[in-house]
Each structure stands twice: as structure tokens, then as C-alpha cells.
Amino acid sequence: MKTDRGSFRMLERKQLLQELVHDSYKSKRKLAEPARCSDCGAVYRRGRWCWDAAPPEAHAIVCPACQRIRDRFPAGYVTLAGGFFAQHRDEVLGRVRHCEEAEKRTHPMQRIMAIAAEGEDTLVTTTDPHLARRIGDESVADLLVDLDQAELSRDAGELREIEAARRRLDDGSYGICADCGAAIGFDRLRAEPAAARCVECQARHEKTYRR
């Protein structure tokens, strides 16, 4: 993923070559069906894991994802680091969790194992390398788009406020509160030159129209 947002980066670590070539957590032979994971409740039937209700004859096993969690042996890694992540940590981690929820809904073996701090960075470990790639390629990319749109909306709003302030300068109403008609304090105008209301009226306005 390419981004121009400072030093923000998402790095995926490759597992050992042996792990990439042969996943020891995948059965060498087809599992007997039906089966139910005794840890998470996922059901194996028709050659795949799902979240269906387990039939009475299902025998208990431990699914590959839960076995990795037991062994603390991740299959995927994503490192969250840099200035952008530091500024938007909660939003980024929210997208990471949302990505996991979406994937796990239809692919029970794709889960986050842990989200842990490593110095100034944060390491996300997963039970499946595909989930790590999705997190790196999609979840934060969506956040970048949302932030860009939010910044554009904010910039457009600021431009509208400036233009309105210029019109008030032209008609002589600059510095007069649009609601109560009183003079807007100098300190407020110095801090917010485009302010259309005094402090008290602005507070009432925000309380009334806050979403």
C-alpha cells in the first residue's frame, strides 16, 4: 500500500520458508466429518470450516486456528508504526478489528491472535497470512480514503466561513454576533477570525445542532 502520510507504514513479516511451503497446522489427510472445534465451536463439514450448528454426531477436535492460538504460533504479522498511526491509533485499530470480523464471519480460520505494543509500534498477529494481507492492504486503505474525504469536507467548510466573513466585512456587519446582535469579543475574533457568533451564542448553536 502506497501512502504519502509521513512515516506511517504497515509491514508484513514472512514466516519461515518451511512454514510457507508446508503449513503444519493443516491436516495431512482429510478430516473425518462432521467435526466441531472444542475451543471455538466452529464446525467442519463438506470439506470446510463454518459457524453452522454442530450435528449431534460431530466429534470434538481442535481447529487449526485454535491450535495456533494455543501454541502461540502466528501465521501472519502486521506491524503498525509511524506518525500517521500514532495520530490515528484508535481509528486504525478499529478498522483492523472490523476487517477481522468481516473475514471471520465467512472464514472461521482467519482471526487476530493478539494486538500488542512493541515499543512505539503495535504488532498484530493472525492465525492466517491472508488476514494479515487484508489488514495491510484494505482496512487502513479504507481509513485513508475516509480521512481524505473528512479533510476535504472540513476544508470546504472553512472556505465557506471565510467567504461569509468577507461578505460581512463588505456590508459592515463583521464582528457583530449573527444571533444576539452583540459585539463579538476581540479575543474570540483573534482566535477565530471568521467567527459569526459570540462565545455564548456559538455554544448554544453547537448544543442545539450537535449530531
Q: Residue 63 has what pLDDT?
A: 94
Cα 101 to Cα 95: distance, rounded to the nearest angstrom: 10
Q: How confident is the model at residue 135 (pLDDT cuts 50, 70, 90)?
A: confident
Q: Residue 133 has what pLDDT?
A: 83
Considering 59-68, 127-136, 165-174, the range whose residues carry the highest mean pLDDT is 59-68
Least confidently predicted of 51-60, 136-145, 171-180, 192-201: 136-145
Which pairing describes strands 35-37 and 59-61: parallel, antiparallel, or unpaired? parallel
Considering 18-27, 68-77, 140-149, the range whose residues carry the highest mean pLDDT is 68-77
> Given a cut of 80, is residue 82 above it in pLDDT?
no
Q: Residue 86 has what pLDDT?
A: 79
Tell me the average pLDDT across 117-126.
89
> Given a cut of 80, is residue 210 above it in pLDDT?
no
For the chain, percent of residues with pLDDT exceeding 70: 76
Q: Residue 112 has what pLDDT?
A: 96
Q: Residue 79 has what pLDDT?
A: 85
Beta carbons within 10 angstroms of residue 170's beta carbon: 9
Q: How confident is the model at residue 208 (pLDDT cuts 50, 70, 90)?
A: confident
Q: Residue 15 has what pLDDT?
A: 43
**Structural contact between residues 81 and 95, judged by C-beta atoms closer than 8 angstroms:** no
Tell me the average pLDDT across 76-85.
80
- Helix axes of 89-106 and 140-171: crossing angle, nearest 10 degrees: 140
Query: Which has more confidence, 128 or 18?
Result: 128
Tell me the average pLDDT across 38-53.
94
Q: How buried is residue 97: exposed, middle or buried, by Cβ count under 10 Å (0-12/13-18/19+)?
A: middle
Cα 99 to Cα 105: distance, rounded to the nearest angstrom: 10
Tell me the average pLDDT across 57-68.
94
> Given a cut of 50, is residue 3 above it in pLDDT?
no
> Given a cut of 90, is residue 89 above it in pLDDT?
no
